[in-house]
């Protein structure tokens, strides 16, 4: 319940009083105030929506665009590094030039050199951060591409096996095994020798062979004492001719050739 002194209560009383005094005009004024209040509320809500990000979001850059932007920024920072290094060398040469002659100018050059070195260190750190960020985006892009490829491969494998049933595969393998067993049985059956009624017992053949071997052994034992003694083996006699110990000397050959030549001349 509103207190008698609050602004809303006073506004309501004033509105009611106006309605009693001038009903048509009062209604129009009240409707106008309500419309203005509604407009102000819509404006306030629109501002809050923009403030808290309920408006339309802007589309972010693609990974390729971000990588290219980082590369461009790295080039700028590298140029800045080169410029700062040149300035540092210039200030160092300036400090050496003045030296003791102009101490104030030498100190100023060294101060500028220190500031430039600080800027160079900051630039180095910023460049390292950008390089790390670029490499992270490149790795993320590569990983995303790998994941997409793996997903496509999984879908392809799923499609390849979608018409296959493991129970049907088991039945197929069982049928193949059964057919192989039947084929082996057929091969064994047709590879056995067939005598066309001439069936021979293998045990009887072995028994007959053993009897033959016993008879042959008994015959050999009986004929051992009847064999004549074999004559001794005569060895060849040793020749009595003496063989030359080595080739004839070359001088004897020359003398023989001279004798033949003298006989021919005479």
Sequence-ordered list of residues with C-beta below 8 angstroms from that of 30, at least 6 positions apart, any chain: 15, 18, 19
CA distances from 59 to 53, 56, 70, 143, 152 (A): 14, 9, 18, 22, 27
131 falls within a domain: yes
Which range of residues forms the domain containing residue 76? 64-189
Please identify which residue in the block is written with the tokens 């082996």. Answer: 184
At 169, which CATH number?
A: 1.10.287.1060
Q: How far is the CA of 16 from the CAs of 11, 22, 175, 258, in angstroms?
A: 9, 10, 99, 178
Q: CA 131, CA 125: separation in Å to the nearest integer? A: 10
Residue 95 lies in a domain: yes
| Domain annotation covers residue 161 | yes
Count of other CB atoms within 10 angstroms of residue 242: 6
- Asked if residue 73 is part of any domain, the answer here is yes
- Is residue 144 in a domain? yes
pTM above threshold 0.75: no
- The count of structural domains within the chain is 1
Summarize pLDDT for 185-226 with one digit per residue, the tens: 898 888 776 655 555 677 777 888 888 888 888 887 777 655
* Percent over 70 (pLDDT), the chain: 61
Kindly state whether residue 14 falls inside one of the protein's structural domains: no
Inform me whether the pLDDT recorded for 22 exceeds 50: no
Asked if residue 166 belongs to a domain, the reply is yes
Token output for 2: 């509103």
Which residue has 């506004």 as its token pair?
11
The residue with greater pLDDT, 86 or 216, is 86
Residue 84 domain-assigned? yes
pLDDT at 165: 84
- Helix crossing, 63-98 with 103-160: angle to 10°? 160
């Amino acid at each position: 319940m509103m207190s008698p002194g609050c602004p809303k209560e006073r506004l309501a009383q004033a509105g009611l009083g106006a309605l009693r005094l001038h009903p048509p005009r009062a209604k129009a004024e009240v409707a106008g105030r309500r419309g203005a209040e509604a407009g102000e509320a819509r404006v306030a809500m629109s501002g809050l929506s923009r403030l808290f990000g309920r408006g339309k979001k802007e589309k972010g850059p693609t990974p390729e665009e971000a990588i290219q932007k980082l590369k461009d920024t790295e080039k700028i920072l590298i140029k800045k590094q080169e410029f700062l290094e040149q300035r540092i060398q210039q200030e160092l040469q300036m400090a050496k030039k003045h030296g003791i002659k102009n101490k104030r100018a030498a100190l100023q050059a060294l101060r500028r050199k220190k500031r430039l070195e600080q800027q160079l260190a900051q630039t180095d750190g910023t460049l390292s951060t950008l390089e790390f960020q670029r490499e992270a985006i490149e790795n993320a892009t590569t990983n995303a591409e790998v994941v997409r490829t793996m997903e496509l491969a999984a879908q392809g494998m799923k499609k390849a096996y979608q018409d296959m049933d493991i129970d049907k595969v088991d039945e197929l393998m069982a049928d193949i095994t059964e057919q192989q067993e039947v084929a082996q049985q057929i091969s064994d059956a047709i590879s056995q020798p067939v005598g066309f009624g001439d069936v021979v017992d293998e045990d009887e053949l072995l028994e007959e062979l053993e009897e033959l071997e016993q008879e042959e052994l008994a015959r050999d034992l009986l004929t051992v004492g009847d064999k004549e003694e074999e004559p001794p083996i005569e060895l060849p006699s040793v020749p009595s001719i003496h063989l030359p110990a080595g080739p004839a000397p070359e001088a004897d050959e020359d003398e023989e050739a001279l004798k033949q030549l003298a006989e021919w001349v005479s």
